[in-house]
Chains A and B, each alone.
Chain A
Amino acid sequence: MIIDPSHAPSLGEVIVDARGIQKWFGTNHVLRGIDLKVRRRQAVMLIGRSGSGKTTLLRCMNFLEEPTMGSVEIDGLRVEADPLHGSSRARQEQIRQIRLRAGMLFQEFNLFPHLSVLGNLIEAPVRVLGKPVDEAVAAAEHNLEKVGLSDKRDEYPARLSGGQKQRAAIARALCMEPKVLMFDEPTSALDPELVGEVLAVMEELAHEGTTMIVVTHEMHFAREAADTVVFMDEGAIIEAGPPEQVLADPADERTQHFLRRFLSAFPDRSLDIHRG
């Protein structure tokens, strides 16, 4: 199934274009041919049961996981899956260029524990992009303010709460000025009371027009912040469209089933889409 979520005319040109992504782990067919286009300023939320391939898809798109087949294009650079010659120097450089275009956020934050928050934020801009230190620091301070962590500039990650860590990680990704931000279940490792502060930052980014792809189980957030919701099941995209369609009035039986089960598990998180 080819899905070009182009229902929203206000979005820009296609900036992420994944084609025919397949991934096998041994004999396990985890991704069964995924096509996904993301336009500039679009916020795409990937939902589905755990094990449906959402995270693997995200990791294949910046080659943390080598796809078995298919190709990924980000901002004009296309890289083909090449599981046989993946580690050649030229290809590693191509992959690095893809990663420079795509910021990645992890469930476990993965801040560098031996560097201060500021150190985390300026490390790559200075050493990878070659930015002068004072410029990198200024950008870091700007982004820290954006995520509400200006006062934590000189703290070490060990002294931050989970929510603060994830916000610092978002600021770190922003400092590289990526074309798209990819979030892999960014709130799944957080205590419930800390989820809100991270989602608030992400929602603001989405409203500002940051291009993002988010793997999430937070349906409320998806409804509020997504331009497009993509439902995945068993390694395939089942259904994609605006949240009020996919979440409130899903066409496919599997989507209905997933949402029904989700709602019965979280009765307080009703998806009263039509309210507003």
Chain B
Amino acid sequence: MTSSVPVVPILAEIEAHQRRARLSFRLQSAGVWVGLAGALVFSLWVMGKIHPDFIGTWGPFILGGTWITVLVSASSILIATVLAVLGAIGRLSRNPLISGFAGLYVSLVRGTPLLVQIFFFFFVLPEFGVVLPAIPTGIVALSFNYGAYMTEIFRAGIQAVPIGQREAAESLGMPERLVMRRIVLPQAFRIVIPAIGNDFVAMIKDSALLSTIGVQELLWRAHTVGTRHFRTLETLLIAAAIYWVLTIVFSFFQERLERRMARGDR
């Protein structure tokens, strides 16, 4: 917010009043969050469902899965972005072979469950001699899946760049590839960044599916500890809380990034 020197005293007063009102609103709604979540945890504790020493003992182990979750999600979103750029260019290609191939990729991935794809990479690839550890397999599966969804995002982003941009670049004698790489894609990226951010949040949560193939991320740790000690309520609560915090933190940064880009030179 840019604050200028108010011309009339009442303007300063109005502005201060509005700022107080906004702050008070925010504090109250934050109070609702903290109050309700606290009440839930407190009542579970009163009911004897939550044991602080158990959480003290195993909490750090589960928390350690955060790094695996973040590592897997971050690598996957990067690889998926590369796949999506290639996929989108392929979908828009005038070459029917390339366009068909990219179209098949998108259709196949979007038409089958993510869990099936994860199992496929984990159980079927070894039959062809490709044996990868759990984490790389998980990254491959997530990238492959999100790459397809993001292909459609990038395709829309590329098509949203005004046609005049392409015409101007072509009129300068730029060959097609250069036009795409230097003029269209940089602008398309700006358009799709919010959508990529949404997908990253979704991916953090979808990475929990990798617990099924033994990637020792948040849910795997919570589930393993919980079932062994018959304390799944506590361990799942911890895992859920960490996922929640992760997405809140990331959404916060995403919002700031978007606001900065909206202000920037477009």
Interface residue ranges, A against B (CB under 8 Å): 62, 64, 87, 92, 96-97, 99-100, 102-104, 106, 108, 110-114, 123-124, 127-129, 156-159, 169, 172-173, 176
Contacts and interface: CB of A to CB of B under 8 A. Distances in A.
Interface in B8-42: none
Interface string B171-184: 11111101000110
Name which of B170, B175, B176 has the most chain A CB atoms within 10 A of its CB: B170
Contact of B172 (A113, A128, A157): A128
B171 A113 contact: no
B243 to A, nearest CB: 35
B168 interface: yes
A99 B94 CA distance: 22
Nearest to A92: B176
A87 B94 contact: yes
A124 B187 contact: no
B175 A114 contact: no
Contacts of A103: 171-172
A172 B265 contact: no
A113 B266 contact: yes
30 contacts: A92-B176, A96-B170, A97-B173, A100-B173, A102-B171, A103-B171, A106-B168, A108-B164, A110-B162, A110-B167, A111-B168, A112-B165, A112-B169, A112-B187, A114-B186, A123-B172, A123-B182, A124-B173, A124-B174, A127-B174, A127-B178, A127-B182, A128-B172, A128-B174, A128-B175, A129-B173, A156-B265, A159-B265, A169-B168, A173-B172
B190 interface: yes
A96 B168 contact: no
B265 A158 contact: yes
Contact of A110 (B94, B168, B265): B168
Given A104-B171, A157-B265, A158-B266, 11 more contacts: A62-B171, A96-B170, A96-B173, A100-B173, A104-B168, A106-B167, A110-B162, A110-B165, A124-B172, A124-B174, A129-B173
Contacts of B183: 112
Contacts of B174: 123-124, 127-128
Nearest to A176: B172
Nearest to B189: A114
Given A103-B171, A157-B265, A110 B164 contact: yes
Contact of A99 (B172, B187, B266): B172
A128 B168 contact: no
**Which 9 A/B pairs are nearest by Cβ-Cβ distance?**
A156-B265, A110-B168, A104-B171, A124-B172, A100-B173, A110-B164, A158-B265, A114-B186, A99-B173
A15 to B, nearest CB: 17
A127 B164 CA distance: 20
A100 B174 CA distance: 9
Nearest to A110: B168
Contacts of A100: 173
A53 to B, nearest CB: 18
Nearest to A125: B172
Interface string B84-113: 000000000010000000000000000000
Contacts of A113: 187, 265-266
Given A106-B164, A112-B165, A113-B265, A128 B178 contact: yes
Contacts of B172: 99, 103, 123-124, 128, 172-173, 176
Interface in B172-222: 172-176, 178, 182-183, 186-187, 190
B187 A114 contact: yes
A106 B165 CA distance: 10
A132 B139 CA distance: 42
Nearest to A127: B178
A64 B167 contact: yes
Nearest to B183: A112
B263 to A, nearest CB: 10
Nearest to A87: B94
A157 B183 CA distance: 14
A113 B162 CA distance: 11
Nearest to A100: B173
A102 B170 CA distance: 11
A64 B183 CA distance: 17
Contact of A114 (B94, B176, B190): B190
A104 B174 CA distance: 13
A88 B170 CA distance: 16
A11 B171 CA distance: 26
Nearest to A182: B171
Contacts of A92: 175-176
Contacts of B167: 64, 104, 106, 110
A100 B173 CA distance: 5
Interface string B123-149: 000000000000000000000000000
